[in-house]
Amino acid sequence: MQRRSPKKISTLPLSRIKSAVHEIVQRTPIHDIHTHLYDPALGPLLLRGIDELLSYHYLVAEAFRYHRMDYARFWAMSKPRQADLIWDLLFLQNSPVSESCRGVLTCLQALGIDAKKRDLPLIRKHFEKWSAHDHVDRVLELSRVGRVVMTNNPFDDLERPLWLKGWKRDERFQAALRLDDVLVTWPQAVPRLREWGYDVTLETSPRTIAEVRRYLDDWIKRMKPIYLAVSLPPCFEFPGPGSRAPISKLIANAVLPVCRGHNIPFAMMIGVKKLTNPQLHVAGDSVGHADIGVVEKMCDAWPDNRFLVTMLSRENQHELCVAARKFHNLHIFGCWWFLNNPSIIEEITRERLELLGLSITPQHSDCRVLDQLLYKWGHFREILAKVLTEKYTDLARTGWTLTTPEVERDAKKILGGSFQTFIKN
């Protein structure tokens, strides 16, 4: 039988690269590897709608730059009243040019809600008609986000009982077990762990280490997290195994062995200065430059562990790329929080592609409100398409030829595929 020659796939001419890349990046589904969203079955934990969008802590901080209201008085206001104030200050009295404000408008536009009338009560009415499940389906479809990784914390008094009861999981929402309470505020964690039946003491004795491992095993069994995570201050240091500091001992002797045992990565989100202004509550955190040597030492000391790392300081980004070149058990991700602005996203994404090729996960959304998926990914896709077009054009100019399936393959890797490969191997 005559073997048919494989279907000839035409190469992309220089003139078609831009339109092809933009079209492919726009339609490629996303694995969003870090968010604060929740499975809709968890009810009120999943924030959604215009009042949550407007009272997002990014906008709260920006609004306080235009008013001198007493902090306690602001926090005593209901969410809709906070939203009214923020809408007036950041959208009506000033043009909403900041990325967080523009994001609200992108969400409304994507949902087909007309903001031109600037009628907040009317905008509210649009959101009232969607049940949580319909709202989730609609936003995931419009944003083309296929998988969302939650941030799950057994120390959260609203969340813990829901996990203990259990529910039929929506497989689009994956779990990540968050360890800040155990690792960063160990003294406060001890009494609660004891209350839950774990025989731990302030001293991180072998018994305590064994009990922390049991705690991690119990919650890994319950949540099936795809990674364990912690956010760390810029001053976080890691002298290596056996150090006296609780956080280092707990990581070295409990977290990393458990991650190896379950074959799941450890995510470190480094550079948060907690509550620089405590009166701003969750909006009060700031940023500090961290020591990349800590990341390098840990990747070197534990070659059988896999580390997902994102850093909050812009000044840490280049050295994080270089560190990732040295350690294949290090996967870097996201333009996190204060980096999630077009000017910085473009700079970071460009340097990551130039130093690391496609072995990165250049973005996560960090969404706290369901609808934010529409803007955080809508804005990023535009920037990624622009940078990728430049890179492919550079290649084409050397005479290298590209095909559509190759661009599709690359986009899939960058929007979650490289992460999926990293967590599997």
Interface residue list for Zn ion (CB under 5 A): 366
Phi (first) and psi of residue 410, to 5 degrees? -65, -45
Nearer to ligand HDL, 22 or 281 (CB): 281
| DSSP element (H, E) containing 66 | none
Tokens, residue 121: 């009560």
In angstroms, the CA 262 to CA 301 distance is 19
Nearer to ligand HDL, 352 or 376 (CB): 376
Nearest to Zn ion of 204, 372 (CB atom):
372
Query: How many residues bind ligand HDL, per CB under 6 A?
Result: 9
337 binds, among Zn ion, ligand HDL, none (CB under 5 to 8 A by kind): ligand HDL
Question: For residue 231, is it left (φ>0), alpha (ψ between -120 and 50) or beta?
Answer: beta
Rounded to a whole number of angstroms, the minimum distance from the CB of residue 334 to Zn ion is: 9
Measured from the CB atom, is 260 or 273 closer to ligand HDL?
273
CB 394, CB 237: distance < 8 Å: no
Instruction: Out of 368, 379, 412, 413, point to the residue binding ligand HDL (CB under 6 A).
Output: 368
Q: Are strands 272-273 and 286-287 parallel, antiparallel or unpaired?
A: antiparallel
CB of 366 vs ligand HDL, minimal distance in Å: 4
Closest by CA to 380, choosing from 317, 321, 334, is 334
| For ligand HDL, the closer CB: 208 or 310 | 310
The Cα–Cα gap between 312 and 193 comes to 30
- In the complex, what is the shortest distance from the CB of residue 317 to ligand HDL, in angstroms, rounded to a whole number? 16
Tell me if 211 sits within 8 A of 193, measured CB to CB.
yes
Under rule CB under 6 A, which residues in 176-205 are in contact with ligand HDL?
none
Q: CB of residue 320 vs Zn ion: minimum separation in angstroms?
A: 17
337 binds ligand HDL (CB under 6 A): yes
Rounded CA separation 32/416 (Å): 7
Q: Which is nearer to ligand HDL, 92 or 282 (CB)?
A: 282
Among 9, 92, 158, 282, binds ligand HDL (CB under 6 A): 282
Check residue 366 for interaction with ligand HDL (CB under 6 A): yes
Q: Which of 117, 105, 118 is nearest to 371 (CA)?
A: 105
DSSP state at residue 415: I
Instruction: Choose the one of ligand HDL, Zn ion, none that binds residue 231, judging by a C-beta under 5 to 8 angstroms depending on kind.
Output: ligand HDL
Q: Which does 282 bind (CB under 5 to 8 A by kind): ligand HDL, Zn ion, none?
A: ligand HDL
Comparing C-alpha atoms, which of 263, 360, 370 is closest to residue 308? Answer: 360
Fill in the per-residue mask, 106 to 135: x = in contact with ligand HDL (CB under 6 A), - = not in contact.
------------------------------
Nearer Cβ to Zn ion (267/411): 267
Amino acid at 360: I
Residue 69 CB, shortest distance to ligand HDL, in Å, is 21
211 binds, among ligand HDL, Zn ion, none (CB under 5 to 8 A by kind): none
CA distances from residue 276 to 19, 65, 194, 273, 309 in whole angstroms, order as listed = 45, 16, 31, 6, 23
Q: How far is the CB of 157 from ligand HDL (least distance, A)?
A: 17
Query: What Å distances lie between residue 131 and 63, 138, 171, CA to CA?
Result: 30, 10, 19
Strands (E), 258-312: 266-270, 272-273, 286-287, 307-311
Strands 286-287 and 266-270: unpaired
What character string, x for contact with ligand HDL (CB under 6 A) and - otherwise, covers 12-51?
A: ------------------------x---------------
> Do 14 and 396 contact (CB within 8 A), yes or no?
yes
Instruction: CB nearer to ligand HDL: give 17 or 280.
Output: 280
Q: Three-state DSSP class for 143?
A: helix
**Closest CB 272 distance from ligand HDL, rounded Å:** 6
Binding site for ligand HDL (CB under 6 A): 36, 151, 231, 269, 282, 285, 337, 366, 368
